Amino acid sequence: MLRIIACFKWVVDDADIKMDAASRKLIFDRVGFKISEYDRNAIEEATRVREQYGGTVAAVTVAPPSAKQCLKDVLSRGPDTAWFINDSSFSDLEPSQTASILAETLKSKIEYDLIICGEGSGDIYAQQVGPALAENLGIPCATCVNKLTYVESENRLIAERRLEETIETVSIPLPALVAVLPDINLPRIPTLKQVLGAAKKPFQNVSLEDLGKAPGAHLETKDILAATMDRRRLMFPADSDGIRSVVDALIREGIIS
């Protein structure tokens, strides 16, 4: 019976972020939150592995208490239980803090065989938490996993990694951690029944007191400014004259010849 952990992050929906052109500040008023897109593949893969080989799936997140609605959302996507590691200081954590909090929780509270993470978080996309968590737990890991198979007789994984120029197939003994790529699967959309059923599934709160001391930030954020791009924004009509004007401009500027 595989005990599978799917890690996920509740992130700002970046489509809702506005910017103030004058100050280059990002404006987060009225932003929505969602389960990071990449983590949906981790959740789906955990569910798929359970369906194929048997076992349990626990979804785990580190978040501020205000993120509580993520629990119903994640539980509607397949996991059996969820762990909500929360504290008001757990917003805007940097990756080493998240990895450390996850490791502490897993060591002391949750039994696991396989941990599945996404490619990176949808907000800061540092792509660190998976491999750092594996190091903190002292277990092997593989990133860039595009295909995952469990060899039950030997309690190991066969993982296909999609790298720049090669597909590398690795064998990893459990317990282990994998970070999966988005095209490993197509996350299912929860049905109404699954959404309603999620409310009945159990979840656990883990507080800062349960963990002891919160880890300090290794990486300090000085500021976050809107990324601007200075472009000319010249618009041309869709007729022959307009198209010819674009071609002429490209030739004049030495872009094409």
Task: Give whichever of 209 and 253 is closer to another protein, judged by the CB atom.
Answer: 253
Q: Which of 31, 28, 29, 23 is nearest to 228 (CA)?
A: 23
Site pattern 94..113 for another protein (x: CB under 8 A): xxx--x--------------
The yes or no reply on residue 196 touching another protein (CB under 8 A) is no
- Give Cβ neighbours of residue 175 (< 8 Å, ≥ 6 apart): 112, 113, 114, 115, 137, 139
Asked if 178 contacts 145 with a C-beta cutoff of 8 angstroms, the reply is yes
The C-alpha atoms of residue 173 and residue 140 are separated, in whole angstroms, by: 8
- Nearest distance from C-beta of residue 1 to another protein, angstroms: 22
Stretch that binds another protein, among 43-51, 64-72, 201-209, 243-251 (CB under 8 A): 243-251
Task: Give whichever of 193 and 233 is closer to another protein, judged by the CB atom.
Answer: 233
| DSSP conformation class of 65 | G
Asked if 209 contacts 108 with a C-beta cutoff of 8 angstroms, the reply is no
The yes or no reply on residue 39 touching another protein (CB under 8 A) is no
In the range 128-187, which residues lie near another protein by CB under 8 A? 128-132, 134-136, 140-144, 158, 161-173, 176, 179, 182-183
User: What are phi and psi for residue 107, nearest 5 degrees?
Assistant: -60, -40
The yes or no reply on residue 54 touching another protein (CB under 8 A) is no
The yes or no reply on residue 21 touching another protein (CB under 8 A) is no
Task: Give whichever of 26 and 195 is closer to another protein, judged by the CB atom.
Answer: 26
